[in-house]
Chains A and B, each alone.
Chain A
Amino acid sequence: MPKDHGIGASVKRREDIRFLTGTGNYTDDITIHGQAYAVFVRSNVAHGRIVSVGAEAAKGMPGVLAVFTGEDFKDVGGNPAGWLIKSRNGEAMREPKRPVLAHGKVRHVGDAYAAVIAQSYNEAKTAAQAISDASVIEELPAIVDMRQALADTSNRVHDELPDNECFDWGWIEDNRAKVDEAIKSAPHVTTLNLINNRLVPNAMEPRASIGEYFPGTGDYKLTTTSQNPHLTRLLVAAFVLGIPENKLTVVAPDVGGGFGSKIYHYGEEALVLAAAKKLKRAVKWTAERSESFLTDAHGRDHVTKIELACDLEGNFIAFRTETMANVGAYLSNFATVTPTFLHGTLMAGPYKVPNVYVNVKTVFTNTAPVDAYRGAGRPEATYSLERVVDKMCRELGLDPFEVRRKNFLTPDMFPYTTPVGLAYDTGNYHATLDKAIQLGDVAGFEARRAASAAKGKLRGLGLSTWIEACGIAPSNLVGILGARVGLYDAATVRVNATGNVSVMVGAHSHGQSHETVFAQIVGAMFGIPEGSIEIVHGDTSKIPFGMGSYGSRSLAVCGQAMANACDKVIAKGKKIAAHMLEANEGEILFSDGVFSVSGTNRSKTFGEIAFSAYVPHNYPLATLEPGLEETAFYDPANFTYPAGAYICEVEVDPDTGKVDIASFTCADDFGNVMNPMVVEGQVHGGVVQGIGQALLELGVYDENGQLLTGSYMDYAMPRADDVPFVTVDHSCSTPCTHNALGVKGCGEAGAIGSPPAVVNAVLDALNRAGKKIDHIDMPLTPSRVWSAMNA
């Protein structure tokens, strides 16, 4: 019988009870007495000079309480980029101010330049339209295409900058000459130009924020859809509004998905706080879906040229990448790290390639800001690598499986420092590849292909092997690389007098199942039932100063902080037990919830120790404090490095170009697994997002900077019948060597590994059918596939 509790058990998610019965508590579910409503006036044009804002038009309209414009915020701070990146020439990146409301110019469709607060949402919306109609915005030519943006310095997104480039980054610059030389003298070079398509995050819950101000104390409260309430508090308080941090509470209650887009601080959060202070009443804003499309930070959007140099047997000699990365109109908080340190440092993949160089130019355009989206930089790196390797195999007539095998790092090579600076601690890439081949029944492919052919379908098989750096930390390293924040995490474990436990964590759960999985770990460590453990997250007034959830960091960073705090509680418990059992502390053992004196039958239960901690009658108070509560901050020594091998089989309809995914197999190494069911769910979700990117999703702006895919009528989200059952395995585990839990992180894996597997499979199908097609850019829509076949 499988385990039903503890580490490694597929414990059912406790959070599902409220999520599946409609009793969750999301920001928009919360109504504060006297609450007013904010609606933003957003630019209809991609690029324009604000001649006048028709704020007067709203004055006196029914229900209108206040109007804000960019003028009201021109003297407060801007929303900063979280990482300072330097160009190859040593210059710091260009960092234009990102205001709460646009002032002087609007820079993308949806850019808010005014806001109305009214008694009701409808009244605010009507007034916002009146302001929009009365405003004069002189339209300027839109800057949309990155190449044009770099070429034309006369038309600039930010007038104060000399051109539209944010930075021109080389990694590692010292490798450059050596890589150039290696490519020049290599027996074979494969070159591939590709686009990593722009994606819109589409969390199920749109962004929403409620601002409150308490005049009696001068305190503020922001309830908001955030993946990291402390980071939001820091940005709003210290950088934008200048509120003392201790006077602002940020609460992120239930949050319906983020995928990166809710890491960042957005101007709407600052606005509702400023409005709440001015009006002395709560102010709520909830995005409409169309606002989400226009203003949530988008993902990806890279234009890349990658070259792979190798010998004629397919042994890799060098990778060289030139990428243009779109950052949109303003720098979102992680916009500068995503295409650089989360992308360039992964460009060695799981391979023992000696020469790697990456150049990334980031470009301002009149489009929504672009930032980290599930995987963040690592899907872009994996896609470039796995596509160019696939192309090379076809050019040289080599077997893609064998080429991976001969280039993989081998287990004896760890720890291994790549040419792009990461130190992989452990892994076994041959094992995951073999497992994927076995589970995906690669041996049976030819028979399945024949069966597809008999139905008139073209079958193909695609392989992708991937590695990522996650568990985003450590502060020492990221500080050197330009991070302006630390990337530790924190947890407080409070054992209550009656023996149950409240665990306050810095990580934030917006779909990740922390409430279940963290309780499994604490329960196992304390030897107490998981039902007596509560995981508290999302409220800066309750939790320690952690950094939130993104970059597959919750378990590897915050989970380890929590385990460390549990260790401290056990150590304190031993002191209390030694006192109660009249023994030396060194004689106390703790196991299965019982403190005992070594070699005796004298013992106290966890509950008895807890009670005694809070009823400390007869305590030696000089040497033993009452209470049983400990906090730990944990800052890891390194990133963690999950890796895996994905195999996708597709059927292509040659008459229509439609791609159906016949099967998808994942063999991943996540290190130790706490809850297999949750891990499988994470991989399923990630793979579906990756399939969405590969086949369906595309954020498209036209030449005027209008978002053509601004609704579900044109932006294709993957649905249940677009995806197959996904075979998931995580048995090839090499535990992380630098955290005690031995965990690596699984949240982004599926979205990282799957797009190249799908695209490689489609190209395999087409080439087997005699169509010499090197590449098709994602998404591989029926029209694109058919057009490539009939070019």
Chain B
Amino acid sequence: MIDFEFVKPLTVADAVKALAAEGAQALSGGQTLTPTMKQRLATPSVLVSLNGIAAMRGVSVSGGTVTVGAATTHATVAREATAYPALAALAGGIGDMAVRNRGTMGGSLANNDPAACYPSAVLGSGATVVTNTRSIAADDFFQGMFTTALEEGEIITAVSFPVPLKAAYVKFNQPASRFALTGVFVAKFADGVRVAVTGASNNGVFRWSEAEAALSASFSAAAIAGLVVPSDDMIADMHGTAAYRANLVKVLTGRAVTAA
């Protein structure tokens, strides 16, 4: 790791200001960024920690909505998002205890790793990503592997999740990293079912619309038995073929429906 300046602003406004500096980079947990810096693949000159911003931390419930501050750690979400048990359970299954105590929801979403867990919860819940400048619907936020709707210098401040009637996340671990080889988040709302898949596609997290339609008609694993997941856009690597991942999408969707 090479030398860098470290700042820890207390407000979103100060963070935005600090991020305007040449070579500045936001740090929100650093579970991806710090290993990358150790390998010198990232060499920011200023690290702007978002951990000091109190307004960006914590879980709150209002009406049927759970709002998570973007700098809230996975461990805190797992412990405090009791109003949305599927979300809390997902957070409790990310990485290991050390990762959960440092990593944050905002950090994970801004990075949008194609095998991360949180994007499936945000997309599967139809959540809203709130930034310092605007609100972005989940369907507009994720734009492919490691790509989001965020502008340069824009900071996620919170994510609002409408709480579904039923929901579950089922993850199949990649054996080495224990990221999601494939993970499926299923959420049943009064007006329909959303199914979001992470880990499987070359295009990052996606909604499986055929399953959503089938499950909206009948919320049971049997409802998707006849569906076929095309493997064309699936990731193929040493941990799983494209056909294998396509199979996992269907198997895990069924399991998530049963678990919900």
Contact = CB atoms under 8 A, between A and B. Distances in A.
Contacts of A122: 1-3
A714 B251 contact: no
Interface string A112-141: 000000000010011001000000000000
Given A129-B40, A656-B247, A713-B176, 16 more contacts: A122-B2, A125-B40, A656-B251, A658-B172, A695-B175, A696-B175, A709-B238, A712-B176, A712-B177, A714-B239, A716-B176, A782-B172, A782-B175, A782-B181, A786-B247, A787-B243
A103 to B, nearest CB: 27
Pick from B39, B175, B238, B241 the residue with the most CB of A within 10 Å: B175
B176 A715 contact: yes
A670 B251 CA distance: 46
Contact of A787 (B40, B172, B241): B241
B93 interface: no
Interface of B: 1-3, 39-40, 172, 175-177, 181, 238-241, 243-244, 247-248, 251
Given A700-B238, A783-B241, A787-B243, A655 B176 contact: no
A783 B239 contact: yes
Contacts of B1: 122
A290 interface: yes
Interface string A318-344: 000000000000000000000000000
B101 to A, nearest CB: 19
Nearest to B175: A716
A695 B175 CA distance: 9
Pick from B1, B176, B181 the residue with the most CB of A within 10 Å: B176
Contact of B239 (A125, A129, A781): A781
Contacts of A716: 175-176
Interface string A356-373: 000000000000000000
A12 to B, nearest CB: 28
B179 to A, nearest CB: 8
Contacts of A787: 241, 243-244
A66 B172 CA distance: 50
Pick from A122, A657, A781 the residue with the most CB of B within 10 Å: A781
A698 interface: yes
A655 B240 contact: no
B176 A783 contact: no
A708 B238 contact: yes
21 contacts: A122-B1, A122-B3, A126-B2, A129-B40, A290-B39, A656-B247, A695-B175, A698-B238, A709-B176, A709-B238, A714-B176, A714-B239, A716-B175, A781-B175, A781-B239, A781-B240, A782-B172, A786-B244, A786-B247, A787-B244, A790-B243
Contacts of B247: 655-656, 786, 790
A242 B1 CA distance: 37
Overall SS of chain B's interface: loop
A782 B240 contact: yes
Going nearest first, the 6 A-B pairs with the smallest beta carbon separation are A716-B176, A783-B240, A716-B175, A783-B244, A713-B177, A655-B251
A716 B239 CA distance: 10
What band does the interface of chain A fall in when counting residues whose beta carbon is under 8 Å from B? 20 to 34
A656 B238 contact: no
Interface string A652-678: 000111100000000000000000000
Nearest to B1: A122
Given A700-B238, A781-B239, A656 B172 contact: yes
Nearest to B172: A656
Nearest to B251: A655
Contacts of B172: 656, 658, 782
B67 to A, nearest CB: 32
A717 B172 CA distance: 17
Contacts of B40: 125, 129
Contacts of B241: 783, 787
Nearest to A781: B175
A129 B41 CA distance: 12
Contacts of A717: 176
B177 A714 contact: yes
Interface in A712-734: 712-717
Contacts of B239: 714, 781, 783
Contacts of B3: 122
Nearest to B40: A129
A656 B238 CA distance: 16
Contacts of A781: 175, 239-240
Pick from A700, A715, A783 the residue with the most CB of B within 10 Å: A783
Contacts of A782: 172, 175, 181, 240, 244
A122 B2 CA distance: 7
A344 to B, nearest CB: 31
Pick from A122, A658, A713, A717 the residue with the most CB of B within 10 Å: A713
Nearest to A719: B178
Interface string A751-771: 000000000000000000000
B244 A714 contact: no
A704 B55 CA distance: 50
Interface string A685-720: 000000000011010100000001100111111000
Nearest to B248: A656
Contacts of A125: 40
Interface string A557-588: 00000000000000000000000000000000
Contacts of A698: 238
Contacts of A658: 172
Contacts of A657: 244
Nearest to A657: B244
Contacts of B240: 781-783
A700 B238 CA distance: 9
A709 B40 CA distance: 19
A289 to B, nearest CB: 10
Pick from B1, B3, B177, B244 the residue with the most CB of A within 10 Å: B244
A122 B1 CA distance: 7
Nearest to A698: B238
Nearest to B238: A700
A655 to B, nearest CB: 5
A129 B251 CA distance: 46
A126 B3 CA distance: 11
A526 B39 CA distance: 54
B165 to A, nearest CB: 26
B176 to A, nearest CB: 4
A445 to B, nearest CB: 27
A786 B181 CA distance: 14
B122 to A, nearest CB: 23
Contacts of A126: 2
A126 B240 CA distance: 37
A125 B251 CA distance: 47
Interface string A34-45: 000000000000
Nearest to A125: B40
Nearest to B3: A122
Nearest to B177: A713
Pick from A655, A698, A712, A715 the residue with the most CB of B within 10 Å: A655
Contacts of A713: 176-177
A594 B239 CA distance: 65
A781 B172 CA distance: 12
Contacts of B39: 290
Interface in A443-484: none
A713 B251 CA distance: 24
A714 B239 CA distance: 8
A705 B3 CA distance: 33
Nearest to A126: B2
A384 to B, nearest CB: 24
A419 B239 CA distance: 41
A712 B244 CA distance: 22
A783 B238 CA distance: 9
A698 B175 CA distance: 11
A716 B238 CA distance: 11
Nearest to B250: A655
Contacts of B244: 657, 782-783, 786-787
B88 to A, nearest CB: 21
